[in-house]
Amino acid sequence: MKPSIKQFPEFSKVSKQLLQAMPYQYIGSDINVCIQTEEFTCLCPWTGLPDFADLTIKYVPSKVVVELKSLKMYLQSYRMVGMVHESVVNSIMKDLKALLKPKKIYVELKFKIRGGISTTVSAGKY
């Protein structure tokens, strides 16, 4: 079976079309979802060097939850895209809010030290 194009990131742009949602079976029962990875990467738009970050996503679902494989592929699409840290966190937040329409959501990126400086950028309230 030939894989569909939708299953793979393009690596030259952020592929938000990769994100998929699944129905949340316990609508009305608030739960806290926390997704973490230490393997997030994007590129510095000025130097082209990779930026590595720990990513944390926390949300309270309303009617759907994010399908984790699709989230992984979506996050990998940032790998070859040049973006400043503040734009990355806002991009992830915007795409997840549009897909999930959660009751609450919080996205945090802790970028590793490069040039002696580390950066933590977050968006949302939790």
Active site residues: 44, 51
Residue 34: burial class (beta carbons within 10 Å; 0-12, 13-18, 19+): exposed
Residue 27: burial class (beta carbons within 10 Å; 0-12, 13-18, 19+): exposed
**CA 54, CA 109: separation in Å to the nearest integer?**
6
Side-chain half-sphere exposure of 106, counting CA atoms within 13 A: 11
Q: What backbone torsions phi and psi does residue 56 show, to the nearest 5 degrees?
A: -125, 130
Tokens standing for residue 7: 């299953």
